[in-house]
Structure 1
Amino acid sequence: MKIVVVNNYKQPGQTERAVQNIERCSGQSTEKIDFNEPDLYRRVVESEPDLVILTGSSALLSKPRTRELFQPEIDLVRKAKFPILGICYGHQIIGSAFDVPMRDLGQMLRGYEKVSIVKNHPLFDGLPSDLMVAESHRQELTKVPDAFQHLAQSTTSKVEAMVHRSEPIYGVQFHPERSNDEHPHGMMILRNLLKLIR
């Protein structure tokens, strides 16, 4: 399986960690493409991905200049003919592609948090109705995009997980790749996704 990671981090250390975590949790090697590569959509298509993962970022999509910088990635989501998983900032990129604005939470959320499943979906096979997953964000989507189903929420963010109603486009506000033996739910979600798109 070919996984392409669209890297939204500016700091090399964060990029490296994100890619390593995704590879560890998915059990797959990946190809990394930076968000600001020229002609991003063509570059991703030429890689012939089975799955594209959009990473987190410290950037804030509510800022017009940031949105401008990430417009090629927003366009990539709109044009995609391949499965996509947006993680944290990548989830917000998907929301932006479907015209949903961001809301600032007024603080940075970090650490493991309880996320409750609100709609059964194969993404959550073998998992309890309350997940413990890693959070690291300060903005959220204001609502679920019209073309999506709402899958999970938390006390701090209403839209913790969503899936497009007719396309294989998934978004999670949390970080499933930041899993460990004590908190394995994120890894299980990534493995379930790989089964879904095979």
Structure 2
Amino acid sequence: MEVFVVNNHGQFNHLIHRSIREIVPARIISNETPAEKIDADGLILGGGPTLARAGECREYLTRLDVPILGICLGLQVMAETFGGRVEKGAVGGYAQVEVEVIEEDDILKGLAPRIRTWASHADQVVLLPQKFRVLARSQVCEIEAMRHETRPLYGVQWHPEVVHTEGGIRLLENFIEVCREGR
């Protein structure tokens, strides 16, 4: 069992990697790694500054048959890849955001109905892609978390790996469980 964390040049990618490797073996990889060279049980698309610097992430989403969790920019790449839309948010920069869990699903199971999270909304998903469901929302953004209806593709706007996020490690553990089960 091994999970790869895709480095999208965000400031928290190494913290995501460290959080995951405390649970299972993990490796951080460049977002320029060819899809055919990825042999992992799960993939986390880390955060980053812009969609333009997301490397091969779209290829990973369309070509790889493993569970994938998108965090912040990873969520946005996932949304755009499948026909959603990302726009500038009304609230930029990192801040604490209270998120309402509207469907626990696989990755949010066991979390409280409302959790405090650490997130940037400089960019955010404003149009849900077809075949995706909204799992969480906030007063800042209607699509804080989403998942594909049939594939194990999940995304969250917030950063579960930071101590400012309630239940963040639980979310990562839930994703690892999805990877173990190969959903």
Question: TM-score under structure 1 normalisation?
Answer: 0.82
Q: 2:35 aligns with which of 31, 41, 45?
A: 41
Q: 2:69 aligns with which of 85, 89, 96?
A: 85
- The CA distance in 1 between the partners of 2:28 and 2:179, in whole Å, is 20
Give % identity: 26
Question: What is aligned with 2:4?
Answer: 4
Residue 134 of structure 1 and its aligned partner are, at CA, apart by 1.4
Residue 196 of structure 1 and its aligned partner are, at CA, apart by 2.7
Whether the 8 Å contact between 2:85 and 2:128 is mirrored in structure 1 is: no
Residue 98 of structure 1 and its aligned partner are, at CA, apart by 0.4
- The CA distance in 2 between the partners of 1:143 and 1:23, in whole Å, is 33
- The CA distance in 1 between the partners of 2:150 and 2:19, in whole Å, is 29
RMSD: 2.0
SS in 2 for 1:194: helix
Q: 1:79 to 1:8 in 2, by over 3 A?
A: same
Larger deviation, residues 87-96 vs 124-133: 124-133
Q: Which runs of 5+ in 1 are unaligned?
A: none
Larger deviation, residues 104-113 vs 80-89: 104-113
2:134 partner letter: H
Q: 1:70 to 1:125 in 2, by over 3 A?
A: closer
1:186 partner letter: G
Q: 1:156 to 1:109 in 2, by over 3 A?
A: farther
Q: 2:21 aligns with which of 20, 23, 31?
A: 23
Q: Which structure carries more helix by proportion?
A: 1
Whether the 8 Å contact between 2:66 and 2:179 is mirrored in structure 1 is: no
- The CA distance in 2 between the partners of 1:168 and 1:131, in whole Å, is 23
SS in 1 for 2:150: coil
- The CA distance in 2 between the partners of 1:186 and 1:160, in whole Å, is 14
Q: 2:161 aligns with which of 158, 161, 177?
A: 177
Residue 14 of structure 1 and its aligned partner are, at CA, apart by 4.7
Q: 1:190 aligns with which of 172, 177, 181?
A: 172
- The CA distance in 2 between the partners of 1:15 and 1:169, in whole Å, is 19
Question: TM-score under structure 2 normalisation?
Answer: 0.88
SS in 2 for 1:4: strand
Q: 1:131 aligns with which of 111, 115, 123?
A: 115
1:75 partner letter: E
1:136 partner letter: S
Residue 33 of structure 1 and its aligned partner are, at CA, apart by 1.2
Whether the 8 Å contact between 1:179 and 1:185 is mirrored in structure 2 is: no
Residue 164 (str. 1) matches residue 148 (str. 2): yes
Q: 1:107 to 1:117 in 2, by over 3 A?
A: closer
Question: What is aligned with 1:108?
Answer: 92
Q: 1:52 aligns with which of 25, 43, 65?
A: 43
Q: 1:109 to 1:146 in 2, by over 3 A?
A: same
- The CA distance in 2 between the partners of 1:107 and 1:125, in whole Å, is 28
Whether the 8 Å contact between 1:75 and 1:97 is mirrored in structure 2 is: no
